[in-house]
Structure 1
Amino acid sequence: MPSCTTRTLIKSALALSIAAVSAHTMAGNPHHKIQWQPKKDAYFERVATFPVYHNLNLGNGDAVEDQTAAEISAASQDGNVVFYSDSPMGRIGLIDIRNIAAPKAAGFITLDGEPTSVAVNGDHLLVAINTSSSYTTPGGKLSVYSLANPLQPQWIADFDMGGQPDAIATSPDGRYAAVVVENERDEDYNDGIIPQAPAGNLQVITMRGAVTNWKVRAVDLTGLAQIAPSDPEPEYVAINRFNIAAVTLQENNHIVLVDLRRARIIHDFSAGSVDLFNVDTSEDDVINPVDTILDRRREPDAITWINDWWIGTANEGDYEDEHGVAGGSRGFTLFNPFGRVKYEAGASLEHALIRAGHYPESRSENKGIEPESILSGTFDGKEHLFVGSERGNIVAVYNTSALGKPKLHQLLPTTIAPEGLLTIPSRNLLVVSSEEDSAEDGIRSTVAIYQYGAKYAEYPQIQSDPNQLIPWGALSGMVGDNDNAQTLYAVPDSYYAQSRIFRAEVAPKGPAVIKQAIVLSKDGSTVDYDLEGIAQRQDGSFWLVSEGNSGSRPNLLIKAAADGSVMEEISLPASVVAKQISNGFEGVAVTGSGEQEKVYIAFQREWKGDPAGMVRIGVYTPSTNSWGFLYYPIESTDTGWIGLSELSAIDEHNFAVIERDNQQGDRARVKRLYRFSVADLTPAAEGETFPQVSKSLAYDLLPELQATHGWVLDKVEGTAIAKNGEVYVVTDNDGVDDASGETRFMKLGKLFK
Structure 2
Amino acid sequence: MPLTRITLTSLLALTASLGSAQEMAFNRIASFPVASNSDGAEETSSEIISASGDGMVLAYSDSPLGVVGFVDISDAADPQPLGTIAVGGEPTAVSILGNTAFVGVNTSASYTEPSGKLEVYDIETMSEVASCDLGGQPDSTAIAPDGSFIAVAIENERDEDLGDGRVGQLPGGYVALIGIDDGMLDCGGLIRANVSGLAEIAPDDPEPEFVDINSLGETVVTMQENNHIVVLNRDGSVASHFSAGSVDLTGIDGTDEQAALIFDEAQPGRLREPDGVQWIDDMHIAIANEGDMDGGSRGWTILSESGELVYESGADFEHAIVQIGHYPDRRSDAKGVEPEGMEFAIFGETPFVFLLAERASVVGVYDVTDPAAPVLTQLLPSGIAPEGAIAIPGRNLFVTANEADLGEDGAARSHVMIYEFAEGTASYPQITSEGADDLIGWAALSGLAADLDNPGTLYAVNDSFFGYQPTIFTIDASQTPARITDATVVTRGGRPAQKLDMEGLALDGDGGFWIASEGRTDRMIPHGIYHVGSDGEIDAEIPFPAELLAVEQRFGAEGITLIGNTLWIALQREWADDADNTAKLVAYNLDTEEWGAVSYPKTEPATGWVGLSEITAHGDYVYLIERDNQIGGNAVTKQITRVALSEMVPAPLGGDLPVVSPEVVRDLMGDLASTGGYVVDKVEGLAIEADGTAWVVTDNDGVDDSSGETLFWSFAVE
Q: Give TM class, smaller chain.
A: over 0.9
Residue-by-residue CA offset, 1:162-194 (whole Å, 9 max, x unaligned)? 100110000111111100000001000111111
Residue 308 (structure 1) shift: 2.8
* 1:501 maps to 2:477: no
Q: 2:560 aligns with which of 584, 588, 592?
A: 588
Residue 513 (str. 1) matches residue 513 (str. 2): no
Question: Matches of 2:597 and 2:705 in 1, distance apart?
Answer: 36
The one-letter amino acid paired with 2:422 is: G
- Is contact 2:622–2:642 with CA below 8 Å preserved after alignment? yes
Larger radius of gyration between Structure 1 and Structure 2: 1
Q: Tell me the residue number matched to 2:540.
A: 568
* Corresponding residue SS for 2:259: coil
Q: Deviations over 1:127-161 (max 9, x none)?
A: 100000000000001111234x2xx3321111111
Shift of 1:402: 3.3
**Residue 444 in structure 1 maps to residue 419 in structure 2:** no
| 1:250 Cα deviation after fit | 0.5
Which of 689, 701, 713 in structure 2 is aligned with 1:722? 689
The reply to whether residue 278 of structure 1 matches residue 246 of structure 2 is no
Q: How far off its partner does 1:614 sit? A: 1.7
Q: Is the 1:117–1:128 Cα contact (8 Å) retained in structure 2?
A: yes
State the SS of the aligned residue for 2:263: coil
Structure 1 residue 40: deviation in Å? Answer: 7.1
- Could you say what secondary structure the match of 2:465 adopts? coil
Task: Name the structure 1 match of 2:15.
Answer: none
For 1:418 and 1:212, how far apart are their aligned partners in 2? 30
SS at match of 2:175: strand
Give the aligned CA root-mean-square deviation in angstroms: 1.4
Letter in 1 for 2:544: L
3-state SS in 1 of match to 2:646: coil
Distance in 1, matches of 2:102 and 2:570, equals 56
Distance 1:496 1:40 in 2: 35
| 1:263 partner letter | G
Residues in 1 aligned to 2:183 and 2:367: alpha-carbon distance in whole angstroms: 40
- 1:116-195 aligned within 5 A: 116-147=92-123, 149=124, 152-195=125-168
Aligned partner of 1:743 in structure 2 is 710
Offset at 1:714?
0.5
Q: Percent identity?
A: 43
Distance 1:254 1:695, change over 3 A: same
After superposition, the Cα gap between the structure-2 partners of 1:360 and 1:40, relative to the gap in structure 1 and judged at 3 Å, is closer
Q: How many residues align?
A: 691
CA deviations 1:499-524 (Å, max 9, x no partner) are 110001012x6211001111111222
Q: 1:608 matched to which residue of 2?
A: 576
The answer to whether the aligner puts 1:353 opposite 2:321 as a matched pair is: yes
Q: Secondary structure at the match of 1:234?
A: coil
Deviation, structure 1 residue 213 = 4.2
For 1:492, the equivalent position in structure 2 comes to 462
Residues 69, 85 of structure 2: 8 Å contact kept = yes
State yes or no: 1:475 paired with 2:451: no
Report the secondary structure of 1:472's partner residue: coil
Q: Which residue of 2 aligns with 1:102?
A: 78
| Equivalent position amino acid for 1:561 in 2 | G
Return closer, same or farther for 1:574/1:201 CA change in 2, 3 Å cut-off. Answer: same
| Structure 1 residue matching 2:191: 3-state secondary structure | strand
Is 1:236 the counterpart of 2:210? The answer is yes
Q: Distance in 1 between matches of 2:245 and 2:264?
A: 24
The structural deviation recorded for 1:689 is 2.1
Q: Which residue of 2 aligns with 1:6?
A: none
The secondary structure found in structure 2 opposite 1:723 is: coil
Supply the AA of the counterpart residue of 1:601.
I
Distance 1:74 1:681, change over 3 A: closer
Aligned counterparts of 1:735 and 1:135: Cα–Cα separation in 2: 36
Query: Using the alignment, how far apart are the partners of 2:464 and 2:186 within structure 1?
Result: 62
For residue 661 of structure 2, what is the aligned residue in structure 1? 694
Contact between 1:423 and 1:429, CA under 8 Å: does it hold in 2? yes
Q: Distance in 1 between matches of 2:280 and 2:159?
A: 33
The equivalent of 1:548 in structure 2 is 519
Structure 2 counterpart of 1:287, from 261, 278, 297:
261
Aligned partner of 2:195 in structure 1 is 221
Normalization by structure 1: what TM-score? Answer: 0.90
- SS of 1:248's equivalent in the other structure is strand
> Within 1, Cα distance between the matches of 2:385 and 2:301?
21
Q: Letter of the 1:471 partner, please give it.
A: G
C-alpha distance after superposition, 1:555-578 (max 9, x if no partner): 111111111111111012112101
2:32 pairs with 47, 50, 58, which one?
Answer: 50
Secondary structure in 1 matching 2:408: helix
Q: State the Cα distance separating 1:638 from its structure 2 match.
A: 2.1
What secondary structure, in the 3-state scheme, does the structure 2 residue paired with 1:411 have?
strand
**TM superposition shift of 1:681:** 4.7
Equivalent in the alignment of 2:296: 328
CA offset digits 1:267-291 (Å, max 9, x no partner): 0000000011100122110011100
In structure 2, the partner of 1:13 is none
Aligned partner of 1:90 in structure 2 is 66
User: Residues 45 and 454 of structure 1 are in contact (CA less than 8 Å); yes or no, is this contact kept in structure 2?
Assistant: no
Equivalents in 2 of 1:354, 1:466: separation in Å?
A: 12
1:429 matched to 2:397? The reply is yes
SS state of the match for residue 423, structure 1? strand
Of 349-358 and 609-618, more deviation after overlay is shown by 609-618
Structure 1 residue matching 2:516: 3-state secondary structure: strand
Runs of 4+ off more than 3 Å? none
3-state SS of 1:589 partner: strand
Alpha-carbon distance in 2 for matches of 1:521, 1:236: 48
Letter in 2 for 1:494: S
Cα distance in 1 between the residues matched to 2:185 and 2:228: 34
- Write the letter of the residue equivalent to 2:348: D
The letter of the residue matching 2:169 is Q
- Aligned residue number for residue 353 of structure 2: 385
**Residues 482 and 536 of structure 1 are in contact (CA less than 8 Å); yes or no, is this contact kept in structure 2?**
no
- Counterpart of 1:711 in structure 2 is 678
| Gap change, CA 1:40 and 1:557, over 3 Å in 2 | closer
Amino acid at match of 1:294: P
Q: 1:681 to 1:216 in 2, by over 3 A?
A: closer
Which of 640, 648, 668 is matched with 1:673 structurally?
640
1:197 aligns with 2:170: yes
Q: Which residue of 2 aligns with 1:618?
A: 586
**Residue identity opposite 2:389 in structure 1:** L
CA distance in 1, matches of 2:100, 2:452: 64
Report the equivalent of 1:35.
none
Provide the rounded CA distance (Å) in 2 between the counterparts of 1:583 and 1:402: 53
Report deviation, 1:210: 6.6
Is the 8 Å Cα contact of residues 42 and 452 (structure 1) preserved in structure 2?
A: yes
Shift of 1:611: 1.4
Aligned residue in 2 for 1:322 = none
Q: In the alignment, what sits opposite 1:455?
A: 424
Name the SS of the counterpart of 1:207 in structure 2. strand
State the shift of 1:455 in Å.
Answer: 1.1
Cα deviation per residue 1:581-608 (whole Å; 9 max; x = unaligned)? Answer: 000001000022xxxx111110101111
Preserved CA contact (<8 Å) 1:145 1:157:
yes
Which AA in structure 2 matches 1:530?
A: D
Q: What residue identity is the alignment partner of 1:543? A: W
Shift of residue 41, structure 1, vs aligned partner = 4.2
1:680 to partner: Cα distance = 5.5
Q: Which has the higher contact order (CA 8 A, sep 6+)?
A: 2
Alpha-carbon shift at residue 84 of structure 1 (Å): 0.5
Distance (whole Å) between structure 1 residues aligned to residue 183 and residue 209 of structure 2 = 29
Matched, 1:524 2:486: no
More displaced stretch, 292-301 vs 374-383: 374-383
* Conservation of the 8 A alpha-carbon contact between 1:76 and 1:120: yes
Preserved CA contact (<8 Å) 2:178 2:185? no
Aligned equivalents of 1:153, 1:681: Cα separation in 2? 63
Structure 2 match to 1:61: none
CA distance in 1, matches of 2:372, 2:357: 23
